[in-house]
Structure 1
């Protein structure tokens, strides 16, 4: 949730302080509340949007490897693990926010959640050792990061044709360009955002 983290929507901002909470809305940890640092630009995915997204994904999470590219509050990654994901990798540029994510993982005793305090695009520029089954792309607004993130993911084998891609961005923006075969499975808009789940469809063969 930034060039590498949703928490750095304003690049020069370093102010962190105790903030609010996120609530896990489904799965093993349903109802659990986790603290979130208050940092300029941190924009947790809302309960309403998460509920819609995970309804779309209800049969696609159990046992899967998930990547949260711009973790921020960790709302998407924690929700995925609560609903049965095998492992979750979170990227977060802010050291303070990454530390909070690790504390929340320990609070949940979630050893399968790993947090990398890193610039997401720099990390993704390396070839992946394994592909991921589900990738969340929800960067900070007004930094035009979605297209470059997707390009880097495809170029360096972080995803394959079985991967589900979730994209959340400003409502006013057009959808990014994906390689041939990638299509929107479901999409919705809110007052400020548009979000969609993408998957790969094999071209018709005649």
Structure 2
């Protein structure tokens, strides 16, 4: 027999899981709905704060890509802090529809949402150099090994920054020689790193 979850606990957990808060910038403290779907892991606030402490100087005026965007936490934070343009890519149509709605709510016109597999997008779209790329793929799926070589085919601006968030127990795939690790930290079961790429 299936056990019933207490109604109050269910409501509370859903409420916590279905909102994203922007930390700083133009939309500071704005809360936005995010899809309540399995496997969606918004980057924790503390991790996001640390990341943007690392890159804040580079964000204003930058062109960015948020691949496997999920909640859009990283890309929205960058837009709020002055990024020039953001490309959000996610395979889930539910995610893409919510991202489009959230951008409309914020009045953001300097972003596009692509409902497509990130690898397929990088393979088929016309490459355009990006200053900052956020990579937070689903865990334990081997996505980074596919994505990193594709980024090298015209998607990286001179001295681009690439942020990678992944499960702590996994090893990074082989990286090109021009990728230099700038920062690295762990938080619970994840590890996050910032790389600088020189052309």
Q: Which residue of 2 aligns with 1:139?
A: 137
Whose helix fraction is larger, Structure 1's or Structure 2's? 2
Task: Specify the SS of the correspondent of 2:18.
Answer: strand
Deviation at 1:171, TM superposition (A): 0.3
- Aligned-residue Cα RMSD (Å) equals 1.6
Distance 1:192 1:96 in 2: 26
Distance 1:172 1:150 in 2: 19
Deviation at 1:201, TM superposition (A): 5.1
Structure 1 residue corresponding to 2:186, chosen from 189, 192, 206: 189
1:21-63: CA deviations, max 9, x gaps?
0100011111000101100111111101100000000111000
Question: Are the counterparts in 2 of residues 128 and 158 from structure 1 also a CA contact under 8 Å?
Answer: no
The correspondence of residues 1-206 of structure 1 with structure 2, limited to 5 A, is 20-126=18-124, 128-154=126-152, 156-200=153-197
Q: Which has the higher contact order (CA 8 A, sep 6+)?
A: 1
Task: Specify the SS of the correspondent of 2:25.
Answer: coil
The TM-score normalised by the length of structure 2 is: 0.88
Gaps of 5+ in 2: 1-13
Q: How many residues are paired up?
A: 185
Distance 2:137 2:112 in 1: 19
Task: Specify the SS of the correspondent of 2:124.
Answer: coil
Task: Specify the SS of the correspondent of 2:193.
Answer: strand
Distance 1:27 1:91 in 2: 22
Question: Are the counterparts in 2 of residues 127 and 157 from structure 1 also a CA contact under 8 Å?
Answer: no
Gaps of 5+ in 1: 1-16
Question: Are the counterparts in 1 of residues 160 and 198 from structure 2 also a CA contact under 8 Å?
Answer: no
Tell me which moved more, 82-91 or 143-152: 143-152
Q: Which residue of 1 aligns with 2:4?
A: none
| The structure with more radius of gyration | 2
